[in-house]
């Protein structure tokens, strides 16, 4: 009898969970039709400022959300597309709290922001605790950058990492059998040294991506390369240092960023601010997802798989 009660209770709990998730999924679809925004403030024209957040490592993730929706850079780009089609959105505040990310994902967000900027939409970057490397790359596409005194930013550079475990493998008596189609197919393998030819190939790729990084920062910030190169050596800066080197425009808070966005877009002080609507369950699931993705990125940085290459904008 006790066993039957436990089974019945377990089934009931599962049904309740499924019901809640179904309701959340339906509400998400409804929110999607409405633009997934909440409006704060009152404006006669209805024109306002939208908030887009970039939290954690910037990477391409794809359809891996709890309900199959896009995550990571793809989700950010989709949101920017949506806002770009909304005639009531005159400015976007990009709230960035990221140490960097993969090269392709960061460049795609940068390019999308530049397209919105060319359309006349005002973009203001609001830096949180950290907006470094790829996080700064994204911010550079904005018309105006605001950071706190204590914000960690800069770290303009590109890095590719792979552990060399050859000594450990030898000590443990482990030998790798490698069958490959070309001499570079197992580049950065952890069981052997990098050859001079491989190092030269990787350096060429890193230098190319780095030069693109610097050029895009110069284009977004309207600066000469001679002004950017001296601090584009991977160093990190706080908000005050970044202001001195013209990497940002203003020391201020998230609220200051919204005020500046309204000012640049010539909106009234009471213009609405559009924010994405999150249900409590969405917040919980997204938090778990961010924690998992952060661990996954860290693991890949330390132990990339044989025959794979991941290089990223990280401090």
Of 133, 155, 162, 257, which residue is the catalytic one?
A: 133
DSSP string, the chain: -HHHHHHHHHHHHHHHHHHHHHHHHHHHHHHHHTTSEEEES--SS--EEEEEEEES-B-EEEE-STTS-EEHHHHHHHHHHHHHT-TTEEEEEEEEEE--EEHHHHHHHHHHHHHHHHTT-EEEEEEEEEEETHHHHHHTTSSEEEE-TT-EEE----EE-----HHHHHHHT-------SSTTTTTT-TTSPPPHHHHHHHHHHHHHHHHHHHHHHHHHHT--HHHHGGG-SS-EE-HHHHHHTTS-SEE--HHHHHHHHHHHTT--TT--EEEE---HHHHHHHHHHHHHHHHHHHHHHHSPPTT---EEE--
Of the residues 6, 180, 183, 185, only one is catalytic, namely 185
Residue 133 among the catalytic residues: yes
Residues recognised as catalytic:
133, 185
């Amino acid at each position: 009898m006790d066993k039957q009660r436990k089974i019945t209770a377990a089934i009931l709990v599962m049904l309740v969970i499924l019901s809640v998730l179904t309701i959340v999924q339906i509400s998400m679809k409804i929110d999607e039709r409405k633009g997934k925004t909440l409006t704060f403030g009152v404006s006669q024209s209805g024109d306002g400022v939208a908030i887009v957040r970039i939290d954690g490592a910037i990477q391409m993730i794809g359809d891996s959300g709890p309900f199959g929706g896009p995550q990571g850079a793809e989700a950010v780009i989709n949101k920017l597309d949506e806002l770009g089609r909304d005639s009531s959105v005159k400015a976007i505040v990009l709230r960035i709290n990221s140490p960097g990310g993969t090269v392709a994902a960061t460049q795609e967000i940068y390019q999308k922001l530049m397209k919105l900027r060319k359309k006349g939409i005002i973009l203001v970057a609001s830096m949180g605790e950290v907006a470094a490397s790829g996080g700064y790359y994204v911010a550079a596409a904005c018309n105006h950058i605001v950071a706190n005194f204590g914000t960690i930013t800069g770290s303009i550079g590109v890095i590719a990492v792979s552990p060399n475990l050859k000594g450990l493998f030898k000590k443990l008596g482990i030998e790798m059998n490698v069958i490959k189609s070309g001499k570079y197919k197992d580049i950065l393998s952890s069981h052997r040294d990098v050859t001079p030819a491989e190092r030269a190939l990787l350096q060429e790729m890193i230098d190319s991506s780095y030069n693109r990084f610097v050029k895009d920062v110069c284009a977004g910030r309207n600066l000469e390369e001679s002004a950017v190169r001296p601090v584009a050596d991977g160093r990190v800066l706080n908000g005050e240092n970044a202001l001195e080197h013209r990497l940002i425009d203003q020391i201020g808070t998230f609220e200051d960023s919204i005020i500046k966005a309204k000012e640049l877009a010539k909106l009234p002080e009471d213009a609405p601010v559009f924010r994405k609507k999150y249900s409590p369950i969405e917040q919980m699931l997204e938090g778990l997802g961010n924690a998992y993705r952060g661990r996954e990125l860290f693991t890949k940085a330390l132990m990339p798989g044989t025959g794979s290459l991941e290089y990223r904008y990280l401090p």
